Amino acid sequence: MPLLSVEHLDVTYGAIRAVRDVSLSVEPGEIVAILGANGAGKSSTLNAIMGLAPKTGGRVVFDGDEVQGLGPERIVRRGMTLTPEGRRIFPKLTVEENLTLGAIPLRDRSHAAGLRAGMFERFPILRQRRAQAAGTLSGGEQQQLAIARSLMCEPRLLMLDEPSLGLAPRFVDLIFDLLVALRGDGVTILLVEQNVDRTLSIGDRGYVLASGELRLSGSADDLRRSTGVERAYLGIGAD
Amino acid sequence: MDLVAQQFINALSLGGIYALLALGLAIVFSVMGMVNWAHGEIMTLSGYAMWMVTSQLHAPIVVTFLVAVGTGLVAALAMERIAFRPVRGSSQVTMMFTSFALSITLQVIFQDLISPRPRGVQLPAALSQVIPVFGLRIGIIQVTAFILVLLSLGLLTLFLRRTTIGISMRAASEDFVVARLMGIRADAVIAVAFAISGILAGVAGFLWVAQHGSVQPTTGLTPVIKAFIAAVFGGFGSLPGAVLGGFVLGFIEIMLQAWLPQAALPYTDALSVGIVILILLWRPNGLLGTVTDRA
Amino acid sequence: MGGRVDLDSPWWRTVVGSTMLAVPLIVLALLVELFMGATEEQVAVNFFISLVAVVGFGVYSGNSGIMSFGHVAFMGIGAYVSALLTMPAAIKATALPNLAPWVQQLELPFVLGLVGVAIVVAIVALLFGIPFARLSVESTSVASFAVLLIVYVVLVASADVTRGSQTFYGVPPDASLPVVVVAAIGAVLVARFFRESTPGLRLRASREDELASRSMGVNVPWLRLWSWVLSAVIAGLAGALLGANLTAFSPKQFYFTLQFTLLAMLVVGGTSTVSGAVGGTFLVSLLLEAARRIEAALYGVVIGPIHLQAFGLQTLTLGLVILVVMYRLRDGLFGLRELDEVVLAWWHRPRSTPSAPPTTPADQAGD
C-alpha cells in the first residue's frame, strides 16, 4: 500500500486552475520527485496535499486515511510535513526555538530535547547558532534549519519544496546528501525541485507536471533517459 | 527635585497602565491582524466586577484584584469566541468594524443594565495614602501600579520566551501559515492572545478604577484610545514598541500636566496626542516598528 | 462604437451615475415637501445632511480603503466655524463676550461662512493628513481616532470661542430642505467625479495592491493626503449644515455617537461606492427614525423592575446593523459596483452575443 496517494487532485485559486486532475503515489522508503517548469503547479500540489491550498477536487490518502478537509495543523499530526518553499523559518525566533516548535505535532513531547540534540549532531552549524535569531543565518544555514525543524516531528513522509533553490553549490551538495541519508533512516520523501539532474540522480521515481497537468511519470532512470525530450519540454537549459 | 521625582513616579504609573493596554492590543493584532476597539469594554467590565464585589460583598483588596483580572480574562475569551470568530481571517476593516460595533453596543448595555452614571468603587483607605520615602511623598497606589505593571510585563516575557505556547504565539505573529504547518492550532493561539490581552486589561482596569474611584459605561474609552495611539507610536504589532509607546505617552501627559500653565491645562490630552503624531511624522513606522506588510 | 468611448470618460460616468442618484433624492425631497409634515421634513433634512457627511467620508475611505474614525471632528470644526462667521453680532456679544472683536463683528452670509469652513477645515486636515499619509493602513485608522479626540478636547477647552462644554446657541437656521438637497447632490457629484478621475482610479488601485501601485510610480501617500483633505472639507460643510439645522449644539454632539452613526451608514451600503453611501444613509436613517419612535413610545413604561428611559435603542440598532453586515455581507448592500454600473451591465447583457460572458468592468474585479 502506498504511504501517500493523491487521486485526481484539482486546485483552484479564484478563477485560476493551478492543478488539474493530478494523481500520484509515494511508496514507503522512496524518494519521489515532482518536476516541471515554473508555474507548472508543483508547489500548489504540495500545498494542497498539506491542506494549505484550496483543494477543489480529488482525494488525498495518507497511510490509508483520507486527509482532505483537515487543516495543516492536523495533517502534520498524522505524520507528514512540508518544508515550504523559501524556507520560511521564523526569523525573530532563535534557532533553538524554531526547533522546539517543530516538535509540537509529536504525541509525546518528552523526547523533544533528545531529538533536538540529534538535530544538532546532524547539523553542527545549528548547534553553534542555537541562541541566535534565525533571521541572522545564511541561506544555506536557514535551509538546514527549515529541514531540521520539519524533522523534529519525526515525519514518516517529508515533503520539500525547492530545498536547493538559491543555495551555494556546497549547500546544494549537502542538501542532496542529506536527503539520501534520510531515506536510509526510513524517511519517505516527496520532493519538488528545479534541479532536474541532481534530483533524478538520487530519486527513485518522478512525475512531470506542465500547466497544472501530469505529463509524464516513471522511474528516475527512465525519466533521465528521456532527458532530451524532457529538457525542451521543461523549458530548462543548463541547470 | 521632589516634584520631579514625584512626577516621575506618576508618569511610570500612568504610562504603565497605557503600556498594559497597548500590549494587549498589540498581542491580538500580531496574531490575528485585528484592531480590537472593544478592548476598553473589557476594562470597563473589570471595573464593574470590582464595584460588585466591593459594594455587595466588601471583598478584601486582593480578592477585588483577582476578580478584576478574572473578569478581564473571561470577557476577552467570550468576546473572541462569540463576536470575533465569525470574522476571523476577513479584512482588517471588517474586523475593526465588528469590534467597534461591539464596543458601542456593550456601552449601551452597561448604560441600560447598570447605570449611565458613575458607580463608586471604594477601596481600602490605605491605598490612597502617601508614604514618605527619603523626603519624597509617594502615593501607595502609584507604587502599587508600577509594581503590578512590572510584574505583569515580567511574567508575560517569561511566558513568551519559555513556554511552548508562548513561543508558538511569537511564531504565529511572524508567519501564521507556517505556524499551522508546525501543528500550532489557530484556535489555541488566538484564544491565548485574547486571554493575555484580557488579563492585562483586567490589571489595567483595576489600577485605573482604583485611581479614579468609580466606573461608568465609558470608562474604557479614553484610556484605550490612548493605548491605541501608544501602540501605533511604538510601532503597531511590536510588543516592546507597545510598552515603550505606553510609557512615553504617560510621561508626556504627566509632564504636560505638571508644567503647562493653568490656562492651558484643559488642552493636555490634545497636546500629548498631538506631540505623538508629530513624532510619527519623523518615524512613520513607530519608535520600534519595522516596515511590515502582513499579507 | 464611438459612444462607448464617451461612456467610459470620467465626466460621462459622473453625470450618468450622479443623475441616477440625484433623481430619487429630488423626488424624495419633493414628496416630503408636498405631502408631509414638519417632523418628516426635519427627518429628511437630517438625512440629506448625513448624506453629505457620509458621501464625504467615502471620498477618503471608499477610495483609499482606509477607514477613518475621525471625520466627525471636521464636522465639529465646520459647525463652530460656520456659526462664528454667520451669527448675529448681538448674540455673539452676550454668548461669547471674550471673543476677538473682529470675529464678533462678522455677520457673513451662509455661503461665505461655508467658504470659511472649507478653508479652515482644509488647513486642519492638512495638518493631520501630512503625518498620516506615511503611516500604514491600519495605523492610519487607529490614528484617525486621535483627530476626534484632539478636536473634541480643543473644542471643550476653548471656552472663550465655543462656550466649552456648554450649549452654543443662536446659530442662524440656514439649513432648509432645498439647501441641503442641493448640498447632497453637490457632494454626490464631487465624490463621483473624484472616484472616476485618474487620481481616484489610482487610489482605488492602491487599495487593491499598494505595493504594485507604488512600483508603477503612483504616489500613494500624496493621493491619500489629497483625498483626505477633500473628504474632510465635505465633512466640514456637512458639519456647518448640521450646526445650522440644530441652531444650538455642544462639542459632545460631534463625538463618538455621531461618528458611529455615520460610519454605520457608510458600512451598511458598502464603503467603496457613492451609491452605497447614498443607499446606506437612507436605510440607516429610516431604521434610526423607527427606533427613535419606538423609544419615544416606550418612554416611561415600566416592565417589572425595569423602568424604561432612554435605553439607547438607536445605538443598539446601529451596533446590530453593523454586526449583521459584517457577518453576512462584507461589502455592504451595494457591494463593489455603482448603481449605474450595475444598470449598464444589465443593459448591455442582452446585446452581447449569447456565447460571450457577461461584461463586468475590469476595475471592479477586486475581491
Q: DSSP letters of A49-87?
A: HTT-S-EEEEEEEETTEE-TTS-HHHHGGGTEEEE-TT-
Distance from CA of B76 to the nearest CA of A (A): 24
**C153 to B274: CB separation less than 8 angstroms, yes or no:** no
What are the grid coordinates assigned to C24, written together? 430619487
Is residue B161 scored above 60 in pLDDT?
A: yes
- Chain B within 8 Å of A133 (Cβ-Cβ)? no
pTM: 0.84
Most confident of A58-72, B7-21, C72-86, C191-205: C72-86
What are the grid coordinates assigned to A82, written together? 512540508
**Chain-centre distance of CA C39, in angstroms?**
23
Chains that touch B (3 or more CB pairs under 8 A): A, C
- Residue B176 CA to residue B174 CA, distance in Å, equals 6
Instruction: State the distance between the two ends of chain A, measured CA to CA, in whole angstroms.
Output: 35
- Residue B136 CA to residue B115 CA, distance in Å, equals 40
**C135 to B280: CB separation less than 8 angstroms, yes or no:** yes
Is residue B292 scored above 50 in pLDDT?
A: no
- Residue A210 CA to residue A19 CA, distance in Å, equals 9
Q: Which residue of A has its CA nearest to B168?
A: A101
- Residue A208 CA to residue A214 CA, distance in Å, equals 6
Instruction: State the distance between the two ends of chain B, measured CA to CA, in whole angstroms.
Output: 50
- Chain A within 8 Å of B181 (Cβ-Cβ)? yes
For B183, which of A97, A98, A104 is closest by C-beta distance? Answer: A104
- Residue B200 CA to residue C189 CA, distance in Å, equals 48
- Chain B within 8 Å of A90 (Cβ-Cβ)? yes
pLDDT given at position C361: 40
Q: Which of A235-239, B146-150, C136-140 has the lowest mean pLDDT?
A: A235-239
Is residue B239 scored above 60 in pLDDT?
A: yes
Number of H helices, E strands in chain A: 10, 10
- Chain A within 8 Å of B81 (Cβ-Cβ)? no
- Give B12-31 as a DSSP string: HHHHHHHHHHHHHHHHHHHH
**B90 to C330: CB separation less than 8 angstroms, yes or no:** yes
Distance from CA of B184 to the nearest CA of A (A): 6
- What pLDDT digit, counting tens, does each position of B47-67 carry? 999 999 998 888 888 999 999
Distance from CA of A51 to the nearest CA of B (A): 9
- Chain B within 8 Å of A155 (Cβ-Cβ)? no
**B170 to A72: CB separation less than 8 angstroms, yes or no:** no
Nearest one of A33, C155, A113, C135 to B281, comparing CA atoms: C135
Residue A61: pLDDT band by 50, 70, 90 thresholds?
Answer: very high
- What pLDDT digit, counting tens, does each position of A193-231 carry? 888 888 989 999 999 888 888 888 888 888 888 765 465
The owner of cell 492550532 is B185
Average pLDDT over residues B96-109: 90
pLDDT given at position C367: 34
What are the grid coordinates assigned to B257, written together? 500636566
Nearest one of C234, C82, C96 to C164, comparing CA atoms: C96
pLDDT given at position B44: 96
Nearest one of C68, C45, C44 to C56, comparing CA atoms: C68
Please state, in angstroms and as integers, the Cα–Cα distance from residue C139 to each residue in B38, B229, C64, C316, following that order.
17, 9, 14, 27
Average pLDDT over residues B152-172: 92
pLDDT given at position B291: 47
Q: Which residues on B lie below 8 Å from C153 (Cβ)? A: 266-270
**B179 to A88: CB separation less than 8 angstroms, yes or no:** no
**B171 to A77: CB separation less than 8 angstroms, yes or no:** no
**B270 to C131: CB separation less than 8 angstroms, yes or no:** no
Residues of chain C with pLDDT below 70 are 1-8, 303-311, 349-367
pLDDT given at position C104: 81
- Give B 57-86 residues with CB within 8 A of chain C: 83, 86
Residue A238: pLDDT band by 50, 70, 90 thresholds?
Answer: very low
